[in-house]
Structure 1
Amino acid sequence: MPEPGRRRPNAPRRGGRPPAPRRSVDPARLAAYDVLRAVRVDGAYANLALPDLLRKHGLTGRDAGFATELASGTLRRQGTYDAVVAACVDRPLAKVEAKVLDALRLGAHQLLAMRVPDHAAISTTVDLVRARVGQGPAGFTNAVLRRVGEHDLASWVRRVAPDVAGDPVGFAAVAHSHPRWVVSALAHALARAGRDAGELDALLAADNEPPAVTLVARPGRVGRDELVAATGGTPTQLSPHGVLLPGGDPGATDAVARGAAGVQDEGSQLVALALSEAPLDGRDERWLDLCAGPGGKAALLAALAAGRGARLSANEAQEHRTVLVRRALSEPDGALVAGVDEVVTGDGTAPRWEPGTFDRVLVDAPCSGLGALRRRPESRWRRTPGDLRDLVPLQRRLLDAALDVTRPGGLVVYATCSPVPAETVEVVDAVLAGRDDVRALAPGAALPQVPDAAGPALADGTATLQLWPHVHRTDAMFVALLQRT
C-alpha cells in the first residue's frame, strides 16, 4: 500500500489527467525546431545555422536531408501556415506562445507539404512541444494539428486566402507565402522588365522551391570536368564554371575543402563573368571587388584575373565579413591565392585608392535580397519597405565611389541580388544623371549564352540584364555595365 497522502504510481492527479508518458523526440525534428528558434530569437540565417545544428544532433544522410527540408520548407511557407493555423485556433495568432507557434508551423509543413503520415506528423510535434515547452501546450498542439490535417494545402488556401478576383495580391501573398508588399514589388519588377504579368505566380512559386546545390570550379585551380568527375554532378547550362550537385555534403569534396571550388549560385557566377568578359580597351591589370563579403564572387574573379596576369583587390566594410573574404581567397596554408593583391576592410563609399586606379570594378551592392528568397527564405519576413529607403542612398554612394576609382575607359559592373527597380535601374539612372564622365553599355555581349534576360532599360535606352528564378533557375541577379569616359 502506498504511504498515506502519496499518489500511487501512474495514478491520476487529483482534478486532472495522468501525466503523458515521456517519449524521446526525433533528433531531425529537434534540429529543425532549433533552426526556427535561432532564426526567430537570434536573427540567424537558416542556411548558416543548419550545419552546426545538424552536427549538434548527430544528423547525416537522409535524416539531415529531412531536417533541412523541414526547417527551410517551414520558413518558406510560414505565411501560408500562419493563415491556416489562425483558422484553427480560438485566439489571435499573436496570443499563441512563440515556441508553440514554431512547432505548429513545423507540424503544418509535415501535414500539408511533406509525405509524412498524419499520425506521425501530429504525434512527433506533440512530443516536441511536451519536451521543449510543457505538457499543457502539448494538448493544445494536438487539437490544432488535428484540425489542420482535415484539409489538404490547396483546400486550405481556398478557405483562408482573400478572393483572387477581388484581391489578387492578397491571394498571392497567402497562396505563395510572401508578404503583401513583396508580392507588389516583384509584380512591379516584372512589369518594368517588360515581362508578362502572368509570370508572377511562377516567380513566387520558384521562390518556394529548394535551390539546387551549385559548385563553381575556380579556373586554374580545378577544371570543371574534374569537378564533375569527382562529384558525379552535371555541368550548369549558363556558367562555364558551374556544376550542379546530385546531393550530399559539398564540403566533403576535396576541391571544395582546399578552396579550389566553392558553393556558389549560378547567378552569382554570371555576375563575375559579366565583369571579366566585358570587352575592355587598354590596360587590364588591376581589378577591384568593392563589396566583397562573403567572398564567393571575389574568389572567382581572382581565379579569372590570375589567368590573365591581372590582380584583384578585395574590399569589405565589416571586419567579420573580411575574415570570410580572406578565407575564401586563401590557400589551406593561409597564403593568398594567385591573382589576389590585397584583402582590406574599408568604407566602400570612401575607398582608400587613388582615383583612376582600377581597370575593372565590381559593385555587388548591399540590397534587399528579394532575388535570393529561395536560399534565404526567412529574409521575406524580415525585410520591410523601409529597408529600401535606407539602402538606396548607400547603393548610389557605392556606385559613385566605384566609378571614381576606375580609370578612363575602365568598366564597372553594378549588381544586386534583387530585381526591384528602386535598387537597380533607378540607382544607376540617378548616378548617371549626376555625372558627365560615364556611359552605360549593354552587358549582354559579355554573357551571350544567357537567354531571355533583358532587364529594364536605363533612362537613355541602354539595356540591362536581369536573371529570374522561374526562368533561369538562378537568384534574381541584376547587372548594369558602365564605362568611365
Structure 2
Amino acid sequence: MGRGGHRGRGAGRADARRGPGADSRSRGAPDPARTVALETLTKVRRDDAFANLVLPALLDREGLSGRDAGFATALTYGTLRLQGRYDAVLTRCVDRPLEEVDGPVLDVLRLGAHQLLAMRVPRHAAVWATVDLAAHALGRGAASFVNAVLRRVSALYAQEWLDRLRREAPDATAALAQVESHPQWVVKAMRQALVSCGRGVEELPALLGADNVDPEVALCARPGLISPEALVKEAASALGGEPRPGATSPCAVVLTGGDPGRLASVRRGRAGVEDEGSQLVALLLAEAGLEGRDERWLDMCAGPGGKAALLGARAAQRGARLVATEIAPHRVRLLESAVRALPPGTVEVRQGDARDAGSQEPGAYDRVLLDAPCSGLGSLRRRPEARWRRRPADVTELAELQRELLASALRAVRRGGVVAYVTCSPHVLETSLVVGDVLKRLAREGLEAELLHAGDAATRVAPRPPAGAERQMLQLWPHLDGTDAMFCALLRRT
C-alpha cells in the first residue's frame, strides 16, 4: 500500500477505471461495483438485511460478473467484517461524534476506508472513486465531506493506523476489539470460551482474526448419492481450480474457486454447500455407538436442511428413517428442497415446535440431533453483519430456549439412545453450561443421561483430529480447524 500523492480528477478518473471494479461504460456514471457494495451496506444497516441474500441479486441486476463481481463482493464483505476497525479510524478523522454522521455517509466512508487500508486499489483512485460515488448517491455536499475525511484516513498506512489504535486504546480488550473489529463483549466471550476449553488466551487474536478472513467454500457429498472423489472430479471439470477432499469431514470437498451452483450435483441435491464443522457434528451423531434398535432418527430444528440431508443420507444407507421438524414455514420449504434427492420415504418433514417433541413422542427416537438456535458467534466469518447486531441479552434469552429444547430432546430419545446437542457458538452460556444445567434439572425429575466423549468420536470420524479432540465436549475453532466454531456434546440417555 503506497503512500502516494493526490493528483487531479482527470488522472484519478483514469486510474480508477483501470483498477479493480472500474467502470468504462460512461465517463459520468459511478462505478457499478462500488454502487452495488454501497446499496448492499445500506440495506444491511437500514433494513437488517443479510448481505449473502442481498448481494447476489444486486450483482445479477447490474449484470456484474468476473472481476467486477469479485471486487464488489470483496469490498462488501471486507467492509462489513472490519466495520469496527474502520469506525475507530474514522472517529479520529471526523470532527464530530460518529453517531452524528448520517448513516448513508458513514456507509460511503467505511467503503472508502476499506479500499484505502485493506485493498490493492491505488490510494488516489480509492479516494476519487469513493468521492464520486458519494456525489452521485448523496450529493456534492456529502462528497466534499467524504473527500476531506478520506484524505485524513489516507495520511497513514494501514499498519500505522493499527499501531495507533493499539497505542491509544484504554486497555487490551478495547485494543483487540478495535483492531480485530469485534464488539468488546464478543471479545470477552471468546476469551472465556478459550479458557473454558483449556486453551490459552494468547490464541485470542488469532481466533478473532479468523473471523475477518474469507472462508473457503465446502461442499458435502451426501453418502449414497455421490462420493467425495466423484464430487472432486465434477468440481474440477466444471469450475476449474484444484478442489480437494476436506480435512475435518470425510464427506467434504473444498473448492478453490467458482460458483458451486453451477455443479449438477448441487442443483440436484446430491451435494450441498455446508461448512466442514457442520458436517462433522452431524456425522458424530450418525456414527455414535448404539445398542439395540436403530430405526428412527429425529432432527429437531432442521431448517434450512444441510444436516438433515446428511443425516437422511446416512439413515437411508442403514434402513432408518429421519423425522425433520422446523417451526418456521420458509425454513420448512428450504428443508424440503434440501432432502429432495434422498430416496422416497427416508425423510418425513414436519412443521412444529421442537420443544413439544419430548412430550408428544417420549422415548420414540434412537438418535436425536438438536442443532439449537444460537447467537451464531461461531460463524461470524460467514455472516459479518451478525457481530454488530447481536447483544449480550440475546445470548441469555437463547440459552433458556436451548435448555428447553435439550430437555425435550432427552425426553424424545429412548433409553440407550443418543442425543447430539450442537450450536454454532463457542459461548459458554450456550454450550457447556446449557448441557450441565439440563442434566442436573432432568436428574431431579428421574431422567438421567451421561456424556459420551465427543472428542474421541470426532477423532474416529474426521480425516484429521480436531484441535479439541482430547476433550469430552467437542469445540471446533476457525483458527485451528479451519471450520466454523461448532460445539457438540453427545449424550446417552440412561
How far off is 1:40 after superposition? 0.7
8 A Cα contact 1:273 1:446, kept in partner: no
How far off is 1:150 after superposition? 1.1
How far off is 1:48 after superposition? 2.0
Partners of 2:331 and 2:248 in 1: CA distance: 28
8 A Cα contact 1:72 1:377, kept in partner: yes
Partners of 1:59 and 1:281 in 2: CA distance: 55
Partners of 2:437 and 2:52 in 1: CA distance: 35
Tell me, yes or no, if structure 1 residue 473 matches structure 2 residue 479.
no
Partners of 2:371 and 2:383 in 1: CA distance: 17
The 1:337/1:88 distance shift into structure 2, 3 A limit, reads farther
Q: Which residue of 2 aligns with 1:197?
A: 201
- What do residues 205-253 of structure 1 show as CA deviations (whole Å, max 9, x unaligned)? 1110100011111111111111101112111112111111111111011
Partners of 1:305 and 1:356 in 2: CA distance: 19
Q: Which residue of 2 aligns with 1:390?
A: 397
Alignment of 1:178-327 (within 5 A): 178-232=182-236, 233-327=243-337
Matched AA of 2:205 = D
Q: Which residue of 1 aligns with 2:458?
A: 447
Q: Unaligned stretches of 5+ in structure 1?
A: 1-20, 458-462
- What do residues 145-170 of structure 1 show as CA deviations (whole Å, max 9, x unaligned)? 11111111221122234556x61101
Partners of 1:340 and 1:46 in 2: CA distance: 34
Let me know the Cα RMSD of the aligned residues. Answer: 1.6
The 1:393/1:343 distance shift into structure 2, 3 A limit, reads same
- Describe the SS at the equivalent of 2:378: coil
The 1:339/1:455 distance shift into structure 2, 3 A limit, reads farther
Structure 1 residue ranges, 4+ long, deviating more than 6 angstroms after superposition: none
Matched AA of 2:426 = P
Partners of 1:122 and 1:306 in 2: CA distance: 57
8 A Cα contact 1:290 1:361, kept in partner: yes
Tell me, yes or no, if structure 1 residue 346 matches structure 2 residue 360.
no
Partners of 2:347 and 2:301 in 1: CA distance: 16
The 1:129/1:22 distance shift into structure 2, 3 A limit, reads farther
8 A Cα contact 1:280 1:410, kept in partner: yes
- Describe the SS at the equivalent of 1:227: helix
Give 1 or 2 for the bigger CA radius of gyration: 1
Tell me, yes or no, if structure 1 residue 409 matches structure 2 residue 411.
no
Tell me, yes or no, if structure 1 residue 111 matches structure 2 residue 121.
no
Q: Which residue of 1 aligns with 2:12?
A: none
Tell me, yes or no, if structure 1 residue 44 matches structure 2 residue 88.
no
- What do residues 16-55 of structure 1 show as CA deviations (whole Å, max 9, x unaligned)? xxxxx97211111111111111211121111222211111
How far off is 1:379 after superposition? 0.6
- Describe the SS at the equivalent of 1:307: helix
In the comparison of the two structures, how many residue pairs are matched? 455
Partners of 2:453 and 2:145 in 1: CA distance: 59
Matched AA of 1:285 = E
Tell me, yes or no, if structure 1 residue 167 matches structure 2 residue 171.
yes
The 1:261/1:229 distance shift into structure 2, 3 A limit, reads same
How far off is 1:341 after superposition? 3.0
Partners of 1:339 and 1:471 in 2: CA distance: 39
Q: Unaligned stretches of 5+ in structure 2?
A: 1-25, 237-242
Partners of 1:275 and 1:123 in 2: CA distance: 54
Q: Which residue of 2 aligns with 1:11?
A: none
Partners of 2:186 and 2:350 in 1: CA distance: 35
Partners of 2:368 and 2:385 in 1: CA distance: 31
* TM norm structure 2: 0.89
- What do residues 278-336 of structure 1 show as CA deviations (whole Å, max 9, x unaligned)? 111111111111011111111111111111111111111111111111111114xxxx6
Partners of 1:192 and 1:446 in 2: CA distance: 20
8 A Cα contact 1:130 1:138, kept in partner: yes
- Describe the SS at the equivalent of 1:350: helix
The 1:177/1:456 distance shift into structure 2, 3 A limit, reads farther
Partners of 1:125 and 1:236 in 2: CA distance: 40
Amino-acid identity (%):
55
How far off is 1:456 after superposition? 10
The 1:206/1:411 distance shift into structure 2, 3 A limit, reads same
Partners of 1:429 and 1:345 in 2: CA distance: 29
8 A Cα contact 1:194 1:456, kept in partner: no
Q: Which residue of 2 aligns with 1:4?
A: none
- Describe the SS at the equivalent of 2:354: coil
**Between structures 1 and 2, the one with greater helix share:** 2
